[in-house]
Amino acid sequence: ETGVTQSPTHLIKTRGQQVTLRCSSQSGHNTVSWYQQALGQGPQFIFQYYREEENGRGNFPPRFSGLQFPNYSSELNVNALELDDSALYLCASRLDRAETQYFGPGTRLLVL
C-alpha cells in the first residue's frame, strides 16, 4: 500500500464527453503528478501540482486540466474526450521534488 488512492477504478465514456478523475495523496505530500499510460507504453507525464499550483506540464493539450486541494486531494479533468484518451491514468504524490514518488492504483478510462 502506497497511501495513494484513486477513483473511480474504471470508467467508460463516449467521444466528446468530459471526465473527472480523482486522487487522494499521502498526508503531507504537497506535490502531485498525473501520468497517462497507454497499453504497452511507459507512463507519460501530464502535469504536476505543487501547493495547489501547476508547476510543470508535459506535451498534453489544454483540454487536460487539473486541480489540487489543501486536503492533499487532486483532480484530473479531460474535456472533449477522444478515442486516444483511452488509457490508465496514474497519480503520484511526494513531499517536495526531491523525494520518491508514490503511485496510486490508477483509473482505467475507456473512450468509445
Partner 1 sequence: SQELEQSPQSLIVQEGKNLTINCTSSKTLYGLYWYKQKYGEGLIFLMMLQKGGEEKSHEKITAKLDEKKQQSSLHITASQPSHAGIYLCGADRAPLTFGKGTLLTVNP
Question: Could you list the residues that contact partner 1 (CB under 8 A)?
Answer: 2, 4, 6, 33, 40-45, 48, 56, 58, 88, 90, 92, 100-106, 108
Residue type, 96: D
Smallest distance, partner 1 to C-beta of residue 30, A: 16
CB 87 within 8 A of CB 109: yes
The least CB distance from residue 79 to partner 1, in Å, is 22
Grid cell for residue 2: 502506497
Instruction: Give the nearer residue to partner 1 in terms of CB position, either 80 or 99.
Output: 99
Query: Least separation, in Å, of the C-beta of 43 and partner 1?
Result: 5
